[in-house]
Chains A and B, each alone.
Chain A
Amino acid sequence: MASTLTRDEVARIAELARLSLSDAEVTLFTTQLTRILEYAEAVQRVDTAGVPPTSHAIATGSVWRDDEAGPSLDRDDILRGAPSASTDTGLLKVPKVL
């Protein structure tokens, strides 16, 4: 797979990643990410026919515990850490969505 990235592709990835990049950043990342992907090309030449992917190296399977109610984190503590919130109503505030 050709690993040369274009500026347009970098801009598209930035959109997916929810980053607004400056022109200088787009230029820099186009060069740097292309170099990194070229370096990674060797991986694509490895014969992996029939090899299952590893998502976790130590497979533990599903872990179960009893569904018991316990104390939660303090709501006001959490709201105090938010950039904008109302402790009166217990809500996080964001810009208008609709």
Chain B
Amino acid sequence: MADPFMTAVALRDAIVRGELSAESAVRHTLDRITALDPILHAFLLVDAERAITRARALDAAGTPAGPLHGVPVALKDNIAVRGMRTTAGSRVLENYVSPFDATVVRKLEQAGAVIVGKTVCDEFAMGSSTEHCAFGPSRNPWATDRIPGGSSGGSAVAVAAGMTPLALGSDTGGSIRQPAALCGIVGLKPTYGRVSRYGLVAFASSLDQIGPFSRSVADAALTMDVLSGADPRDSTAADQQIPGFSRSLSDDARGLRVGVPRHLLAEGLDDEVRVRFEESLAMLENLGVSIRTIELPNSPHAIPVYYLVGTAEASSNLARYDGVRYGIRATDPSSLSDMYDRTRSAGFGAEVKRRIMLGTYVLSAGYYDAYYLKAQQVRTLIRRDFERAFEDVDVVATPTSPTPAFPIGERIDDPLQMYLADVFTVSAPLAGLPAISVPCGLTGNRLPIGLQFTGRAWDESTLFRIAAAYERATPWATLHPAVTAPATESSTRK
């Protein structure tokens, strides 16, 4: 495999045609990880033996296993694989080995995919940079002194740097789309309920969704064909028709109506991001798309609403890390409560503690109505704004991130600045809507910029249609980083 940036579809076709074996494809992937991961730190765990065994079995079977036959895939380390460590980027789960497969893992393997390992993420998916990973951050392959975005940063790096053609992440407030944008690849957050979360380490249960990273829109659509559907093990995975997303790619974008909430673009937007975004809109008009200005009056409240709702749910979900059933336990506890307190204090990092504290506060007696209930009401208004907008437009377009990738360390001591990285991504999960980020160019110093489309609930097809048309009309999907070690290599931050 001369080209490490081959798409999943092209790689699968080459394997199915017998031009290369699944085993040699996975060996190329493992070699590239060995060469690049010391620089990029995308992976927390690589299981080469498991991957090669699996690839040999696919080769031996003779007939293609499914639409991802022989395709190497990386998983964010909050997705459970039986017999594999699943840390969610946290000390508290440092040596936890999952006794079961996530539903998405089962589906990927049934489709012929080869799982190669687990990727770096912010602890419990809480962060926008991977700097909150207890085992050190990933580095952006376009500029290794910068963050790749987060929380699913390692998955984005694996795909952007040509290690694996596909990866899965999870998105609660932007954790797939923001790193996809900052690494110059495609990332999709599906509609809430589209993909089963059985085996995903829970962060905020009314928001979390699993979705794909890829280097092409077609690969993202194909992955969604594989992942979507109801699951008896996750009651939120909805029994909705799966339209065959790969079929929506060939249609052009002519006649689609795109809404642009210009009032959200007034402040805090990087100049180069703004220029690329406007160029993207002009390109879409060339493709026969009509651009309209829309209002999402309550979206300016989306960040605080997200951090009130998300942390409340997290404080509840993370109560399970008490040193009893899994993970670490404080040594020589004097009592049960001493064990709880010291296990959690030793196991959780600063950002997770901060969010548990905030979430506990907003749910506590006397503050519940003022913070949590109020945030849920404003969430309703944010959702209604989108419903109204979708009466006149098919898709909403914004930049994915207000800035390109920022330097490692720049925001680590200022949680509020870190939270503002999510300004364009938090609304879609609050409203339950699908949203995709596609590359839309580079800054002057070659940092990727992402374009985000948000669609109606269950209408990923329209997102794929417009994203594929845009991708065909622009050169961005063909640009890849030339990974080089940072000039002054410092040891990995802990």
Contacts and interface: CB of A to CB of B under 8 A. Distances in A.
Interface of A: 1, 5, 9-10, 13-14, 16-21, 25, 28-29, 32-33, 35-37, 39-40, 42-44, 46, 48, 51-58, 60, 63, 65, 73-74, 77-78, 80-84, 92, 94-97
A28 B357 CA distance: 12
Contacts of A77: 99
A94 B344 contact: no
Contact of A40 (B308, B326, B360): B308
Contact of B371 (A10, A19, A40): A40
Contacts of A48: 374, 377-378, 380-381
A73 B339 contact: no
A56 B432 contact: yes
B337 interface: yes
Interface string B224-251: 0000000010011011000000000000
A43 B374 contact: yes
B336 A97 contact: yes
B354 A58 contact: no
A21 B99 contact: no
Contacts of A14: 357
Contact of B326 (A1, A17, A46, A81): A81
A44 B308 CA distance: 12
B229 to A, nearest CB: 13
Contacts of A10: 357
24 contacts: A14-B357, A16-B360, A19-B344, A19-B357, A20-B341, A21-B345, A36-B415, A39-B416, A42-B300, A43-B304, A43-B308, A44-B374, A46-B301, A46-B374, A48-B378, A51-B377, A51-B380, A53-B373, A53-B379, A55-B376, A57-B431, A58-B457, A60-B235, A81-B325
A83 B370 CA distance: 39
B478 interface: no
Contact of A43 (B235, B334, B378): B378
Given A55-B376, A58-B191, A19 B381 contact: no
A10 B40 CA distance: 38
A58 B373 contact: no
B41 interface: no
Nearest to B348: A19
Given A48-B380, A57-B429, 12 more contacts: A13-B357, A17-B360, A19-B345, A20-B342, A39-B304, A40-B308, A43-B378, A51-B380, A65-B232, A73-B100, A77-B99, A96-B336
A36 B341 contact: no
Interface of B is mostly: helix
B209 to A, nearest CB: 11
B298 interface: yes
A18 B329 contact: no
Interface in B379-403: 379-381, 383
B195 interface: no
Contacts of B100: 73
A56 B192 contact: yes
B360 A42 contact: no
A6 to B, nearest CB: 12
A82 B379 contact: no
The 6 A-B residue pairs with the shortest CB-CB distance, nearest first, are A57-B432, A53-B376, A83-B329, A77-B99, A48-B377, A40-B304
A83 to B, nearest CB: 4
A7 to B, nearest CB: 13
B353 interface: yes
A5 B99 CA distance: 42
A94 B336 CA distance: 7
Contacts of B373: 53
B417 to A, nearest CB: 10
A74 B100 CA distance: 9
B356 A63 contact: no
Contacts of B191: 58
A15 to B, nearest CB: 9
A62 to B, nearest CB: 8
Given A21-B353, A42-B304, A95-B336, A53 B380 contact: yes
Contacts of B120: none
A42 B301 contact: yes
B304 A29 contact: no
B335 interface: yes
Contacts of A92: 324-325
Contact of A29 (B319, B354, B431, B432): B354
B463 interface: no
A32 B351 CA distance: 11
Nearest to A51: B377
A31 to B, nearest CB: 10
B375 interface: yes
Interface string B307-328: 1100000010001001111111
A83 B378 CA distance: 42
Given A19-B348, A57-B206, A1 B370 contact: yes
Given A40-B304, A74-B99, A46 B341 contact: no
